[in-house]
Structure 1
Amino acid sequence: MSSPASTIPALRVAGDDDIELVADIIADAFEDLDVIRFLVPEQEHRWQVSRAWYRLYIAHAIGGAGQVLVTEDHSAAAVWFDRTGTVTEPERYAERLAELAGDALPRFQHLDEQMDAHHPRDPHWHLLFLAVRPPIQNHGFGSRLLTQTHTRLDADGIPAYLEATSPQNQHLYHRHGYTDMNPPTIDVADDIPLYRMWRPAGTD
C-alpha cells in the first residue's frame, strides 16, 4: 500500500553537489535488475561498475542535457533527458565507458546500440532512470517523482518516453498515462526485455 502523500519527502532539482548521491541511489535500487545482471554478471563488481555508468548520465543531465529530481531524504531520484532538440551524450562517452566497463564493455555497447535503434525520433523527454532505494519501494515515491515532471511536460505539450525494466514497473507507468509501443520491447538478451513506453502530453 502506498504511503500518504504527506509522508513522502519534498522533491528538489539536483545540482552538481548531488551527483554522487544520486549515483548511490540508483546503484542501490538497480543492483538486482535483470538488465544490470546482464551488463555486469560478476556480483562483486556490479555495484561499482554500474554506479560509474549511471554517474556519466547523471552528470550529463545535471550539466544541462536534462534534469534530475531527488527527494529531500535522499531515498529516490529520477534522471530525465530533454530530447526536444539536439541530442548529446556524456563527454568522451566511448572512452570513459571503456575505462569503467572493462571486460563488460561489449555488453554495454550492445545495450546502447539496441536502445539507440529503438528510440523514438519525435521530440520528447526521456526518463532514463527512476530509482527508489529498496526499503521504501512501492510506497509512492516513484509516482511522486513522475507527477512532478509530467505536470511540467503537460503544460508545455511535451510527450515522454521510457524503457521499463519489468512488468511490475510497466504497470506503474500505465497508471501514469504511458502506453506500450510497437514494437513493445527491446530484447537486450534472451529473456531480458525492456518495455518501450510512450506518454502523450496531458494524459495523467
Structure 2
Amino acid sequence: MAELLVRLPEELRQAKREDWRMLGAIIGDAFQDDPVSRWIFGGKRAMPGTFGRQARHLYLQRGICHLAGESGATMWLLPDANKSISVFGTLDIGWHMARTAGIAAVRRGMAAEAEMTRKRPDAPHAYLYTIGVRSQAQGTGLGHRLLAPMLEACDRAGLPAYLENSNPRNHSFYAGHGFAHMEHFEPAPGAPPLEAMWREPR
C-alpha cells in the first residue's frame, strides 16, 4: 500500500536512522517494569540496546517511528513492509542480548517473537510494535498524543491496526483508542500473557 499520510503536531517528529539509540533509551525506560519484557530480558539492563537495535535494523528502515522529544516514542510497521531482519542485524541484536542478559534471554526472545509472528492476523493492518513514554513523563497525556496521528492516518486510509498488549494496566488505554480484545496468549512457555488487540478504522 502507499505510505500513510501522517499529520504530526509540532511536538512530534518522524525519527531518523541516527535516532536508534534514542528510541531504545525511551522504550527501554518505559518498559523497565513491563511483565513480558522483564520475563524475556531478566531485568532492564539489556532493554535499551535491544530495542534500539530493533529500531535500527527494522523499524527505522522499513517502518514508521515517531519521537516526542526525548520523552516518548513509537515503532510501527505497515502491511507491505518486509519484516525480516538481515543476518547482520540478527547477529547484532542477539550478541547484545547475550552479552547483557545471557543466552537464555536470547532463547526466550526468539521463542516469543516466533509465537507473536504466528498469532499475528493475516488481514492487512498497521502493526504497533511498541509505544513508550519515559517514567517521568507518564500520566501527562503524551501516550495519547503519540498514538493519535497514526490512528487518524489509519482511519483516513481505511486501515485496521493491531498490537500485542504486554501489560494488563494498559488495556484501558488501548481500549480507549478503539482497540478491542481478541485473545490472551502466552508468547512462550512460562511467560506472562500477551493480549492481542485489533482496531477497525473509524
- Normalised TM-score (structure 1): 0.84
| One-letter amino acid of the counterpart of residue 89, structure 1 | S
SS in structure 2 at match of 1:79:
strand
* Identity fraction in percent: 26
- Structure-2 separation of matches of 1:157 and 1:90: 28
Instruction: State the aligned residue count.
Output: 186
Alignment partner, residue 59 of structure 2 = 61
The Cα shift of 1:88 comes to: 2.1
Alignment partner, residue 110 of structure 1 = 111
- Structure-1 separation of matches of 2:30 and 2:81: 30
Alignment partner, residue 186 of structure 1 = 185
Q: In proportion to residue count, which structure has more strand?
A: 1
| One-letter amino acid of the counterpart of residue 38, structure 2 | R
| One-letter amino acid of the counterpart of residue 196, structure 1 | A
1:24-65 Cα offsets, whole Å, 9 max, x none, are 101111112111211122x4xx32x222221232122221x1
In structure 1, list runs of 5 or more residues that go unmatched: 1-7
- Structure-2 separation of matches of 1:91 and 1:55: 15
User: Does residue 50 of structure 1 match 2:27?
Assistant: no
In structure 2, list runs of 5 or more residues that go unmatched: 1-8
- Normalised TM-score (structure 2): 0.85
The verdict on how the C-alpha distance between 1:52 and 1:89 changes in structure 2, with shifts beyond 3 A counting, is farther
SS in structure 2 at match of 1:126:
strand
Alignment partner, residue 96 of structure 1 = 92
SS in structure 2 at match of 1:138:
coil
SS in structure 2 at match of 1:192:
coil
- Structure-2 separation of matches of 1:12 and 1:149: 12
Alignment partner, residue 24 of structure 1 = 25
Conservation of the 8 A alpha-carbon contact between 2:36 and 2:191: no
Alignment partner, residue 198 of structure 2 = 198
- Structure-2 separation of matches of 1:176 and 1:154: 12
